Structure 1
Amino acid sequence: MRLVVVFGLVALTAAVSASGIAYWLNREAVLTRTQDSALNDFRQEMQDRAAALPLRPTEEELQRAAEQMASSSAVGYGVVLLGERDGGKPIVGASDPDRFTMDDVPASLRQAVERRQEVGEDGEDYPYHLFWQRTERGGTPYLVGGARVDGGGPTGYMSASLEAERQDLSSLAWSLGIATLLALIGSALLAQAAATTVLRPVHKLGEAARRLGEGELETRLRVSGTDELAELARTFNAAAESLQKKVADMSAREESSRRFVADMSHELRTPMTALTAVTEVLEEEQDGLDPMIAPAVALVVSETRRLNTLVENLMEVTRFDAGTARLVLDEVDVADQVTACVDARAWLDAVELDAERGITARLDPRRLDVILANLIGNALKHGGSPVRVSVRTAGEARSVGEELVIEVRDHGPGIPEEVLPHVFDRFYKASASRPRSEGSGLGLSIARENAMIHGGSIAARNSPDGDGAVFELRLPVDPSRGVGADDGGEDAGDGGEVRA
């Protein structure tokens, strides 16, 4: 549409300008030709007939001379001759009093004709000159001219109709108007052709780029011709092919990395089981060990448990990446579930629960426990007690859009603004000076994955009053879609490290 408007404006401007110039030039040419012909003929008749009249002609002589001048004219004008009789009284002779009289002569023209010029000044050779003026009577244009015979004699006036010229100019104006309209129609057709040959390929290119951005890497453009658009289409196809190849290579490497992590986790699970059994025995015998050996045994027990948690978390991550994680849904009393999670980890003295009994949701209990353990454990580790856990529902009761909302709030220093966007990233630790800590940096990431598999979400923010951080978990009360059953379970408790 913009192209049509632009083409139309350009065509309209060009056509109107050309038509206006053509009309003005033709109008001046037509009127000048008619005017010159009539005035030259009138001048000649004044010299041949009016000048031959006596100084004091009679009215009949003036009448006859005017009629002869009008009848012999090739232009077809009316004539009025004005003379003086004895005593200075004016007499008038008209070729056709019904068509042209002295009342039809403008006063300004009469004054100009009667005005005597000074001979010799400014190159004047005659005391009287021929003057003309265009007028209109009854809607019809006329050319009125007048002259006085030098050396004494009558004054003559002529009136020639310009109706024929006006009709010719009107026909010309209609023709130019039609030409302008045809130019507008032609510009619209030209704009349509331009849109077909230029804008449509550009639109197709934009559509292809949009599909490519949405992940349809097999998108290609059909190339035809050798112009700039064809070259652009070839460049796009080459870029899309290169991008598809790079994405395929990256996907292959990512898949290889996932298989490596999964295989490594499974391979480590067997020796970790044995190590765990040994460390349990060592822990039971720790009180009876040599004081020099006991610290080393305690360190081995602690690091073995940490390594075991890391292996379990890696296996959970690989399940999410492979898409094999499944939900086992059950009707859960949320308050009881939160209480059980806190009690199992001996956090009752450090956690405040604000939840009404009877709030139930259809969830996977094990995965909800993993989420709660990571969020509460993270708050205790980095925010300090007391940690407040509140449970509520959002939306109309039992409606499709009803959500379970669980907020975990601590009273620590809060999360730095530059860290907030990364708290759920895998292996992310806010403090570069503490790359090695009790957490693996996977806990919050696993919590988010478990929320997403329920169709929910987790968001982190700082409290508006500046007193600690708030993690908000939103889960549908009745997920519209589940993913079957899980193939194994992991113990929670690694909250990830998100504070500096």
Structure 2
Amino acid sequence: MTEKQGGLRGWAAGRKGNLSRLRFTSLRLRLVVVFGLVALTAAVSASGIAYWLNREAVLTRAQDAVLRDFRQEMQNRAGALPEHPTQDQLQRAAGQMAASSQRFSVLLVAQDTGGKTVYGNSGGINGFALEDVPKTLRTAVNRQQKVTDANKEPYHLYWQRVVEHGTPYLVAGTQVIGGGPTGYMAKSLEPEAKDLNSLAWSLGIATGLALIGAALLAQAAATTVLKPVHRLGVAARRLGEGRLDTRLRVSGTDELADLSRTFNNAAEALEKRVAEMAARDDASRRFVADMSHELRTPLTAITAVTEVLEEELEAESGSMDPMIEPAVRLVVSETRRLNDLVENLMEVTRFDAGTARLVLDDVDLADQITACIDARAWLDAVDLDAERGIHARIDPRRLDVILANLIGNALKHGGSPVRVSVRVSDAQDADVVIQVRDHGPGIPEDVLPHVFDRFYKASASRPRSEGSGLGLSIAMENAHIHGGEITAANSPDGGAVFTLRLPRDGSRLTEEPDEGERNGDGGAGNPGETGGSGSSGKEGS
């Protein structure tokens, strides 16, 4: 069974390759077919015209010679007979007429002195007979014409081409002017037909050779035209793959050379534009990183002061002036927001610069989620549905960032209870799925595609709302670095559902970092700080 399936797969792969080659050469085939059709049409037309002209020339030349000889014999031989000849006289005259240079058969018809119709045949009893003459021709020969200035003779010579048993004949007839026998002549045109058949075969062979020559010429032309097109296609694919230094060799001054030059100019302009954009992007990332680092020093001092002020607010002595208490609380709140924003900006900068690394560890997902919820005092507001014993090799700190953002976002915008569930996705136990569901109004359909965008807030009228707008985007980046994904949707029963899918073993995604990376990559702060930054992605929903 395995060998049969392997054979079927091989056959399917071969068929796919053949179809691919057929598609690749379709333009070549079309060029060959078009060239062939044009050559065939031209050759057939030329051969047909040549055959028709030669046929008319051959038949007319033979016909004129025979009719001229027949007319001369009728004047010399038949005209010398008496008005009412005997059958012997007709027979002898017909034989003499048939012995002319054209070698045609002769039939003479007349009436003897007793009014009886007599016949003279050059071929004897089984020779040319009156029944062999078409009736229309006999009628025309016996019809007397009115003599006028334009028509000097009452009778004329008429002829007709007929085919008997596959052999073409020229049949003619006329009467002796002034009284005498009526003569008919039959001349075989078989030699001329053979010559015309030979001509037709020659023209057919010439047409075939012209068609083959046209196909070869079309093949050569197609190769000449399609080779630069193929090179252009390969260069375009390389350019699409990001190899912006791709250029075409330009030779000649034709349209294909102009196309190659245009491609090179476009590629050069694109390379410069991308380089400029990359430089600006690098400068922007450096600016954000430098700004974030520069802000951390004054923020540390400001945070220390605000902590002291907060302790005084919480003190029971009530030593703080009630008039400045609201201002102090505002300063404490805004300082925390600014600290979270700086930490998030530093984390985003790491992702953009590609310096973010995984520090993997084997964790029990139920314990990890419980620790995240407990650190933020969310135990009463979150319903956890996770069995212990589901282990995964992931980065615990980054998973904490993801969970803090998703759960904090659900609590802020969806409302309690928030349900967190964990399950294994398939029979191979390759992935784990963590769902965070709230019981709020859900996410508007026009907001769903943008919930993971940076700095996106659903309500433009609340730009100063709590949160930076980076929480969900940072959660998505942390999922991506694990090789996972986060999706957002609305539950049919109401509320929003965020689904996190992660591979259970992320070892294949990263090399084990050194000790410096283990201690230095801490962009999201401690778990207690992360929850605050994760409550902005669903702002206004």
Tell me if TM exceeds 0.5: yes
Q: Which residue of 1 aligns with 2:136?
A: 108
2:482 to 454, 457, 473: 454
Q: CA deviation at 1:266?
A: 2.5
Tell me which amino acid in the other structure corresponds to 2:538. Answer: V
Contact 2:432 2:504 in 1 (8 A): yes
CA separation in 1, counterparts of 2:495 and 2:390? 27
- In 2, Cα distance between the equivalents of 1:478 and 1:117? 116
Q: Which amino acid aligns with 1:365?
A: P
Distance 1:100 1:71 in 2: 15
Aligned match for 1:152, one of 179, 185, 190: 179
Answer whether contact 1:391 1:405 (CA < 8 A) is retained. Answer: yes
> What's 1:441 paired with?
469
Query: 2:357 aligned with 1:326, yes or no?
Result: yes
| Deviation of 1:182 (Å) | 2.7
The correspondence of residues 64-463 of structure 1 with structure 2, limited to 5 A, is 64-73=92-101, 75-97=102-124, 100-114=128-142, 116-120=143-147, 123-287=150-314, 288=318, 289-398=320-429, 402-463=430-491
- Relative to structure 1, is the Cα distance of residues 369 and 87 closer, same or farther in structure 2, using a 3 angstrom cutoff? farther
Q: How far off is 1:216 after superposition?
A: 1.0
3-state SS in 2 of match to 1:348? coil
**Partners of 2:539 and 2:326 in 1: how far apart?**
28
Contact 2:69 2:100 in 1 (8 A): no
Aligned-residue CA RMSD (Å) = 2.4
| Residues 170 and 412 (structure 1), Cα distance of their counterparts in 2 relative to 1, 3 Å cut | farther
Q: State the shift of 1:391 in Å.
A: 2.9
Residues 171 and 256 of structure 1, relative CA distance in 2, 3 Å threshold: same
> In structure 2, what is the Cα distance between the partners aligned to 1:92 and 1:367?
124
Partner letter of residue 434 of structure 2? I
Change in CA separation of 1:77 and 1:470 when aligned onto 2, cut-off 3 Å: farther
Q: CA deviation at 1:14?
A: 2.0
Deviations 1:89-129 (A, max 9, x none): 33222222456333432333233323x23414795443332
Output the amino acid matched with 2:348. Answer: V
Within 1, Cα distance between the matches of 2:439 and 2:45? Answer: 78
Secondary structure class of the residue paired with 2:222: helix
- From 509, 518, 521, give the equivalent of 1:488: 521
Deviations 1:385-406 (A, max 9, x none): 33333333333324xxx33222
**Matched residue SS, 2:257:** helix
Q: Could you tell me which residue of structure 2 aligns to residue 41 of structure 1?
A: 69
Q: Aligned-pair distance for 1:158?
A: 1.3
| Cα offset, 1:79, TM superposition | 1.4
Distance 2:153 2:228 in 1: 77
Residues 412 and 178 of structure 1: is their aligned pair in 2 closer, same or farther, counting only changes over 3 Å? farther
- State the partner residue of 2:9: none
Structure 2 residue matching 1:285: 3-state secondary structure: helix
How far apart, CA to CA, are the structure 1 residues paired with 2:86 and 2:256? 90
Give the AA of the match of 2:488: A
Separation of aligned partners in 2, 1:173 and 1:395: 76
**Residue by residue, what CA displacement relative to the aligned partner does 1:318-371 show, whole Å, maximum 9, x if unpaired?**
221222211122333333333332232222333333444443332222211211
Which of 448-457 and 359-368 deviates more? 359-368
SS at match of 1:150: coil
Instruction: Output the CA distance in 1 between the equivalents of 2:338 and 2:260.
Output: 54
Question: 2: CA distance between counterparts of 1:298 and 1:328?
Answer: 37
- Would the alpha carbon gap of residues 392 and 102 (structure 1) be closer, same or farther in structure 2, given more than 3 Å must change? farther
CA contact (8 A) 1:415 1:499 kept: no
Report how far residue 453 of structure 1 moved.
0.7
Letter paired with 1:78: S
Deviations 1:62-113 (A, max 9, x none): 222112112113x332212222334333322222245633343233323332
C-alpha distance in 2 between matches for 1:365 and 1:121: 125
Between the two proteins, what is the percent identity of the paired residues? 73
Contact 1:133 1:145 in 2 (8 A): yes
Contact 1:454/1:482, CA 8 A, preserved across alignment: no
8 Å Cα contact 2:145-2:155 kept in structure 1: no
Partners in 2 of 1:122 and 1:108 — Cα distance? 27
The more displaced of 229-238 and 43-52 is 229-238
The Cα offsets for residues 189-239 of structure 1, whole Å up to 9 and x where unpaired, read as: 332333233332233223322322221100101011122222222222122
> How many angstroms apart in 2 are the aligned matches of 1:121 and 1:470?
113
Residue pair 1:326, 1:484 contacting (<8 A) in 2 also: no
Which digits, 9 at most, give the CA deviation of each residue in 1:459-487, with x for residues without a partner? 2234456x333322222222342253453
Unaligned runs of 5+ in 2: 1-28
Q: Using a 3 Å threshold, how does the CA distance of structure 1 residues 428 and 213 change in structure 2: closer, same or farther?
A: same
Structure 1 residue runs of 4 or more that deviate by more than 6 Å after TM superposition:
none
Paired residue for 1:4, among 27, 32, 42? 32
Equivalent AA in structure 1 for residue 146 of structure 2: V
Instruction: Tell me the distance in 2 between the aligned counterparts of 1:218 and 1:117.
Output: 96
Q: Structure 1 length normalisation: TM-score?
A: 0.91
Please report how far the alpha carbon of residue 449 of structure 1 lies from its aligned counterpart in structure 2 after TM superposition. 0.8
Partner of 2:488: helix, strand, or coil? strand
Tell me the distance in 2 between the aligned counterparts of 1:283 and 1:377: 23
- The DSSP-based 3-state class of the residue aligned with 2:380 is helix
Seen in structure 2, the aligned counterparts of structure 1 residues 483 and 310 have a Cα distance that, compared at 3 Å, is: farther
Letter in 1 for 2:141: V
Deviation of 1:426 after TM superposition, in Å, equals: 1.7
